[in-house]
């Protein structure tokens, strides 16, 4: 037997483990305390074998990272509506080249893809990230969409077909599922089967128009989270949700019924607020291009974007955005559970305005602060509350012993100015240190197709 392949494998495993088992102490600066939603003087953040430690571990050689008083440490951000999707000329794919680096560079250490186009390709990306062969955030897989948004979805699926689909992806390691374009009958089966695996379900629903599902119906079925629209009786089933939403008065007393339904059932709402402002081409400091994002597109992609003309959908979202702002603030004031997601696929056929997913989480947080939600709360939503909503609150979301060693370091106190979260200079994921600048440089010029998609 040739021992060389075996020796090479053992050496690979040894050095891989060594790379992820470095033990670090972060000293100086300030650290976000998720229990009080405030910053406190950092007396030492310990990273042991990829997890947060206590400092009492039997470690001989600590690697010390010294920070300044201008440095603020936050838990790694979690994007609960992350898209890697790129589409052009009615063809779509999941980008595994630029998007992962851009997400990670912005302090997003975990992403829930919220419906994958090329699920097997995304699983392969995760393996490469997990083994250190590719930089990127944790991919908390959703598997393919459940509903007509999935290229392989069959409206004639039986209940057993839906159960089998859930079982197959749960076995592969999915963290939850997303429904879009699903019938009431299929959604009920999806929710019931997912819960048997202790997995959550979220969904992009409508008003009930043309046999679509109203979020109110989904809540009554036991769904865990809802994307975009609160739903309820104020969305008449005679027209699509987008058309009725623009007419809603955020102070309408009838909204209280749906808000209380969310609260009573512990359902999380991901408003994806800022994306509607971006699609609506709203002129606001929230959407300021702080990263000169055009430098990340391929030349072909940039030329396509330059030729885009405003559409009726852009105009519609400009009307929807102020309505969503008012509804979300009212929902927050009532005590509703809020999560944070970006919802920024790169759709060159139906351009969604400026803003790449990884950078956009900072705009989403800024939009929430703009409507009157305190910055300390918004940071909590994007970290610990997002983790709890996905059912991983014991693993992620805060800087606490035993949790994943994921954090971001910024300049300045974001409680004084939420836009300071945009100043990420260092990201640590699983105890491994990444330079934001290096990640960004590696992604420049690589986002989007280099020509027509085959």
Q: What is the pLDDT of residues 77-99, one digit of tens each?
A: 999 999 999 999 999 999 999 99
Residue 115: per-residue pLDDT: 84
Q: Which residues pair with 337 in a beta bridge?
A: 268
Residues of the chain with CATH 3.20.20.140: 77-394
Token couple for 257: 């019924």
At 451, phi and psi to the nearest 5? Answer: -175, -175
Residue 50 and residue 23: Cα distance in Å, rounded?
Answer: 8
Low-confidence ranges of the chain (pLDDT < 70): 1-21
Pick the CATH number of 22-75+397-439 from 2.60.40.740, 3.90.25.10, 3.40.640.10, 2.30.40.10: 2.30.40.10
pLDDT for position 192: 98
Q: How many C-beta neighbours within 10 Å does residue 344 have?
A: 29
Question: What pLDDT is recorded for position 17?
Answer: 39
Predicted pLDDT at 92 = 92
CB atoms within 10 A of CB 131: 12
* Distances, alpha carbon 165 to alpha carbons 142, 189, 212, in Å: 12, 11, 21
Place of tokens 């690589």: 446
What distance in Å separates the CA atoms of residue 145 and residue 357, rounded to the nearest whole number?
19
Instruction: Classify residue 115 as exposed, middle or buried by CB count within 10 Å of its CB (0-12, 13-18, 19+).
Output: buried
Q: Quick check: 367 and 274 in contact, CB under 8 A? A: yes
Q: Where in the chain is the domain with CATH 2.30.40.10?
A: 22-75+397-439
Q: What's domain 77-394's superfamily in CATH?
A: Metal-dependent hydrolases (3.20.20.140)
User: What pLDDT score does 3 carry?
Assistant: 47
User: How high is the pLDDT of residue 60?
Assistant: 84
* Angle in degrees, 0-180, between the axes of helices 159-172 and 184-196, rounded to the nearest 10: 40
Handedness of CA 373, 376, 377, 381 (dihedral sign): positive
């Amino acid at each position: 037997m040739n021992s060389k392949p075996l020796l090479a494998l053992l050496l690979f495993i040894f050095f891989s483990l060594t790379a992820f088992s470095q033990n670090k102490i972060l000293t100086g600066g300030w650290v976000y305390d998720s229990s009080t939603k405030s910053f406190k003087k950092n007396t030492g953040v310990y990273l042991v074998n990829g997890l947060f430690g206590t400092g009492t571990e039997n470690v001989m050689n600590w690697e010390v990272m010294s920070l300044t008083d201008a440095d603020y440490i936050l838990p790694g951000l979690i994007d609960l509506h992350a898209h890697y999707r790129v589409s052009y000329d009615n063809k779509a794919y999941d980008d595994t080249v630029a998007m992962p680096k851009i997400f990670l560079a912005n302090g997003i250490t975990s992403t829930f893809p919220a419906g994958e186009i090329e699920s097997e390709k995304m699983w392969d990306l995760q393996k490469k990230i997990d083994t250190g062969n590719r930089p990127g955030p944790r991919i908390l897989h959703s598997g393919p969409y459940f509903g007509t948004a999935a290229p392989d979805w069959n409206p004639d699926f039986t209940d057993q077909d839906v159960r089998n689909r859930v079982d197959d992806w749960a076995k592969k390691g999915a963290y939850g599922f997303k429904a879009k374009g699903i019938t009431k009958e299929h959604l009920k089966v999806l929710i019931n089967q997912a819960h048997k695996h202790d997995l959550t379900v979220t969904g992009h629903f409508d008003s009930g128009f043309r046999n679509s599902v109203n979020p109110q119906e989904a809540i009554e079925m036991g769904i865990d989270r809802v994307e975009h629209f609160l739903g309820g009786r104020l969305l008449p089933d005679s027209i699509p949700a987008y058309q009725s939403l623009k007419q809603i008065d955020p102070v309408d007393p009838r909204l209280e019924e749906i808000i209380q339904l969310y609260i009573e059932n512990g359902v999380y709402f991901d408003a994806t607020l800022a994306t509607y402002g971006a699609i609506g081409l709203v002129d606001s400091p929230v959407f300021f291009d702080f990263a000169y994002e055009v430098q990340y597109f391929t030349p072909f992609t940039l030329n396509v974007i330059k030729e885009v003309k405003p559409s009726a959908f852009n105009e519609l979202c400009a009307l929807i955005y102020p309505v969503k702002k008012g509804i979300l603030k009212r929902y927050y004031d009532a005590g509703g559970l809020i999560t944070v997601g970006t919802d920024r696929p790169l759709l060159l056929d139906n351009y969604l305005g400026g803003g790449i997913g990884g950078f956009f989480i900072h705009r989403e947080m800024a939009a929430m602060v703009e409507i009157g939600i305190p910055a300390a709360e918004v940071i909590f939503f994007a970290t610990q509350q997002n983790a709890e909503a996905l059912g991983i609150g014991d693993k992620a979301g805060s800087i606490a012993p035993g949790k994943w060693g994921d954090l971001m370091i910024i300049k300045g106190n974001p409680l004084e100015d939420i836009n300071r979260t945009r100043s990420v200079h260092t990201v640590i994921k699983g105890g491994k240190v990444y330079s934001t600048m290096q990640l960004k440089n590696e992604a420049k010029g690589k986002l989007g197709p280099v020509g027509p998609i085959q």
